[in-house]
Copies of this chain bind each other. A is one copy, B any other.
Amino acid sequence: MTNNFDFSPKVNPKLFDAIAKERETIGFYDLCDQDVTPFLDFANSIKQNNIVVIGIGGSALGASAVYHFLDLVRSFDKKLHILDTTDPLILESKLKSFDMHNAFYCVISKSGATIETVAVAKYIDAVERLQNDNCVVITDEGSVLEKFADTRDIRHFAIPDNVGGRFSVLSSAGLLPLALIGVDITLLLEGAKKVRDDFFNKDGFCDTLMKKATFYAQNANTYNINCLFSYSEVFREFNAWYVQLWGESLGKKQRHSELHVGLTPVGLIGPTDQHSFLQLIVEGKRDKSVTVIKIKEFNNTMRIPNSTFENLEMMDLINGYDFSELINMQADSIMQALDSLDNIPLDVIEIENVNAEGIGQLILYYELLTALVANMLDINAYDQPGVEMGKIILKEKLRGK
């Protein structure tokens, strides 16, 4: 994985020290060192072919990002299904899409009392009783959900206390469902570890990340929108994970000023969104930075044939190119176009291959970047006080029936 850009703000070396200090208490930094044997052993004991995550937000997005990144290049024997809503239309459709008797349910909730998760779990429990041969629970140690699991002898795994939901993809919350499908979670962690170690050893990514974070934080009022323009459909769910990580971590009141700050994440897929959002980037208000993500080696041989469509001879210029060449040339062309314009900060991340290591690197890269920007903006990246009010009002409404 590489990351290149032109901007070079003056970085305060204390930023590194602040992150090193944060690492003493915040858990996501060291998840890549954990022993994954318990997850692998457990996964080996599970026979069902449908792995169903009942969870929402941070309890679903991480596993979904990794699974969908890998699924298009390496068809897994087992399928991941994610039930992360209360919308009956999609729930009904998804429940019809797999055999509920040949399914293993992962009930994931950090607090243990997430309304959407418990609602769906109760629905499924009425059809197919959740018990120790078809269910696992992943939650905070000592939560009410863990206590429920104990009453049914359902195995449970803990999410470390100091790992927040949106930073939990490399904890049990992400690793266990991924292991159940057959994802190489060891390689996933190795990818993450490379970036983590590189940063803390003050190697290449340290300089890159510190500069990029400094630039984003210093220009937060000018460039309040950060577009991630990912050139492959494999990134679609990763984009959704990024939107949560970035939006929920960085949309806060500042610790000391109480001022509302926040950087708005936008996830785009190239080349499709060249025909949608790109016009706004090029000609719209100069309030956006753009990060292009590319895949170096698609390992795919689909090629545009050397054929001519009569009267469309002008299009023969695409003949003989691999589609993977074409999509990367499209990315390069858009970057060249954007680079020629003023006031559109641009950088490019290139992933070597579509494999677990690549996505592991990308995950830790973005977690570090988020932590760095939060530090500079004087906000707590790890809470989400803004979502509580809606939950309280909902409970009042529910009790009002």
Contact = CB atoms under 8 A, between A and B. Distances in A.
Contacts of A119: 304, 318, 323, 326
A312 B275 contact: no
B302 A284 contact: no
Contacts of A261: 284-285
Contacts of A152: 310
A260 interface: yes
A282 B337 contact: no
B272 A285 contact: no
Instruction: Give the number of copies in the complex.
Output: 2
A390 B89 contact: no
Interface stretch (A43-51, A172-180, A327-335): A327-335
A68 to B, nearest CB: 10
A283 B386 contact: yes
A29 to B, nearest CB: 22
Given A122-B304, A283-B385, A284-B252, A312 B57 contact: no
Interface residues of A, number: 120
A209 interface: no
Contacts of A116: 271
A8 interface: no
Given A252-B284, A264-B284, A317-B398, A333 B233 contact: no
B126 A307 contact: yes
A323 B73 CA distance: 36
Contacts of A281: 251, 386
A398 B300 contact: no
Q: Output the residue of A233, A384, A390 with the most chain B CB within 10 A.
A: A390
A72 B86 contact: no
Contacts of A89: 72-73, 232-234, 298, 300, 354
B318 A398 contact: yes
Interface stretch (A32-40, A142-150, A182-190, A197-205): A142-150
A113 interface: yes
Contacts of A303: 123
Interface stretch (A11-19, A210-218, A241-249, A363-371): A241-249
A399 to B, nearest CB: 6
A151 interface: yes
A386 B88 CA distance: 41
Contact of A305 (B92, B122, B147, B391): B122
Contact of A264 (B61, B148, B280): B280
B92 A330 contact: no
Contacts of A232: 87, 89-90
A336 interface: yes
Interface string A144-163: 11011011100000000000
Contacts of A300: 88-89, 92
Interface of A: 56-58, 61, 72-73, 84-93, 112-113, 115-116, 118-119, 121-123, 125-126, 144-145, 147-148, 150-152, 165, 224-225, 231-234, 240, 243-244, 247-248, 250-253, 260-264, 266, 269, 271-272, 274-288, 298, 300, 302-305, 307, 309-312, 314-315, 317-324, 326-327, 329-330, 332-334, 336-337, 340, 354, 384-387, 389-391, 393-395, 397-399, 401
